[in-house]
Amino acid sequence: MIGDKKVLFSGMQATGNLTLGNYLGALKNWISLSDEYECFYSVVDMHSITVRQNPAELRKRARALLTLYIAAGLDPKKNCIYYQSHVSGHAELAWILNCFTYMGELNRMTQFKDKSAKHADNINAGLFTYPVLMAADILLYQADVVPVGIDQMQHLELTRDVAQRFNHIYGNVFTVPEAYIGKVGAKIMSLQEPAKKMSKSDENPNASIYLMDEPDVIMRKCKRAVTDSEAQILYRKEQPGVKNLIDIYSACTGKTPDEVVKEFDGRGYGDFKVAVGEAVVSVLKPLQDEVERLNQDKAYIDGIIKENAEKANYYAMKTLRKVQKKVGFPERVR
């Protein structure tokens, strides 16, 4: 707790370009949370280097992501928006928690197996202990709740286990976090393989709509979206491509799937795809304009980076000093 508010932590990696799925499924829903929670939103650039990165490109993407957070409507005065790498407590706490995490627990992490298969030439220790750094991210701010998808639930369970193990030995040091169950954002699937989630790492450029795609690119991707030969706009699992387009249109317009089906009753896929593209453009254009405006104000973004790093460090050090004392590290002379 900070004041009378519970703490919420979340973050995104500064790799790839955020998609429409990231925006409608997560980022858009973060905006209202600052009224209820003390929110820490991190650009988790330390996690990004488990896979080899171009340094200049990583710096560029990290700043672009932080700017997108703000452009999307996250108020940097209400929310702590910061770079993970600017708070050394993440790495310091991760080392301590490594010593309270068992090899068997890490061996069970399915994401390590998946990423190892994708990056067989670079199966590094960081990739293996990635979930411990994630635990440190969360526990450092005494987070009460963490918004997580199904793919991250295993990591949150490990975080809870490590926190409880540490607390059992040293007393009530860490808040044991819960999964945040709130308004569920739209689950947006790939435009080319609607059985898969839309992903910023998809190798097919037509599968994902990126937040900074030009309007003509968005229209082209929507027109190329996979549908079927049934020629009916119905919201059912037997038509996953059409169902996905209805979800996208619904999320962009605020209409229910049933309302969308009625609106396009008797019309063809061509008309529908154009309408979906136009709805996406109307949602993303204000966001893109705000990103462009913020990019022109370097001093403003630099100020946010500095102020929020100081705020994050303040809360991180409160936890870190307590943990260091508990495990027996000598007190620092100030």
d(CA 300, CA 311): 17
- CA gap 289, 212 in Å, rounded: 10
Give CA separation, 191 vs 7, 239, 269, 275, 326, in Å: 35, 13, 14, 15, 51
∠ at Cα 199 (276, 76), nearest 5°? Answer: 85
Closest Cα partner for 136 from 304, 330, 334, 312?
A: 312
Q: What is the DSSP string of 124-149?
A: -HHHHHHHHHHHHHHHTTT-SEE---
Rounded to a whole number, what is the distance in angstroms from the first to the last CA of the chain? 27
- CB within 8 Å of 201: residues ≥ 6 apart: 15, 16
CA 170 – CA 334 distance, rounded (Å)? 25
Name residue 197's beta-bridge partners: 189
Buried b (16+ CB within 10 A) or exposed e, 93-123: bbebbbebbeeebbeebeebeebeeeeeeee
Which of the residues are catalytic?
115, 197, 200
Order across the sheet with 80-83: list the strands. Answer: 80-83, 37-43, 6-12, 145-146, 178-179
